[in-house]
Amino acid sequence: MIELGKIQELTVVEKSDFGLYLGELPFDPEFCEKVLLPNPEVTDAMKLGDNISVFIYKDTKDRLVATTKRPTIILGEIAPLKVAEVTNIGAFLEWGLIKDLFLPFKEQTTKVKTDKSYVVGLYVDKTERLCATMKVYNLLEINAPLEINKTAKGLVCQVSDEYGIFVAVEGKYHGLIPKREIYQNYQAGDWIDVRITRVREDGKLELSVRKQINGQMEVDAKKLLEFIHVSQGFLDLHDKSSPLEIKNRLNMSKASFKRAIGKLLKEGVIELKPNGIKSRIFKD
């Protein structure tokens, strides 16, 4: 079966003046589907019987057509796409193919603007056309084949003041960075490194942008020392500073701040003063 919106390996079953026709084996011309790979996509090396990996979409006349190009997204994936044009029927997005991808108004969660990028998924509408949607939540999968404390790439889908950051792990699995784990600003469309901290009962992932404690302590200690040196060798934060002040100034929790201090003290590069932290190695 030739499937719209997917990458398939099909066989060259017929030549024509317009290109090569591809189908599945065993191929019967009376009963089996075939799809055209247009001449601009055909190379001299392609011949009858060859297997070719192609993406299936529809051309400007709504006919099924194959391409050897890999679009930015296929069915089951989400990605940030740039708006090429906004019209009175919706928007059209660049996705690496000649025909731009249609984003209907009803599938937009915010008003889109030309030349801006938005996180979208791909779906087949009621008229059997490929369209984009900004309502990506229901397109994501659960039960990702990922282990606790493993790192992965994540696409920021939505930033929520109430819950945290909704992330598409590896561009396809449900993930959430809880509000308590956020120490810097992210925007929808950002690709970030995340660590799996928990698999919930519903199969969705809880995430962190921070490493495990030992590795993160090294990162935090380096960051803290850099802040001290930027502040001319003295930083007016200490054990009595509030968690909010530490988070706002250093983008880390108070617990992480204290672990970083402990590491730097052990290394002998700082000393504590009643009103802050002084570097022992700072040179003006």
A 10 A CB-CB count for 255 gives 12
Confidence label for 247 from pLDDT (cuts 50, 70 and 90): confident
DSSP 8-state code for residue 34: -
Start and end residues for every CATH 1.10.10.10 domain found in the chain: 213-279
Which residues in the chain are classed under CATH 2.40.50.140?
7-67, 78-137, 141-208
Mean pLDDT, to the nearest integer, of 276-281?
A: 88
Mean pLDDT (the chain) is: 90
pLDDT at 124: 94
**Range 141-208 has CATH code 2.40.50.140:** yes
pLDDT value at residue 217: 77
Residue 212 confidence (pLDDT): 64
Q: Is the pTM of this model over 0.75?
A: no
pLDDT 10s digits, 202-239? 999 999 987 765 667 788 888 888 989 989 999 999 88
pLDDT value at residue 104: 96
Could you tell me the two tokens for 214? 């030992």
Residue 189 to residue 81: CA distance in whole angstroms: 9
Topology at the third CATH level for domain 213-279: Arc Repressor Mutant, subunit A (1.10.10)
CATH number of 7-67: 2.40.50.140
The CATH code of domain 78-137 reads 2.40.50.140
**Between β-strands 234-235 and 173-178, what pairing exists: parallel, antiparallel or unpaired?**
unpaired
Buried b (16+ CB within 10 A) or exposed e, 71-91: bbbbbebbbbbebeebeeebb
Question: Average pLDDT for residues 55-62, to the nearest whole number?
Answer: 91
Is residue 116 pLDDT above 90, yes or no? yes
> What six digits make up the tokens of 211?
């490493």
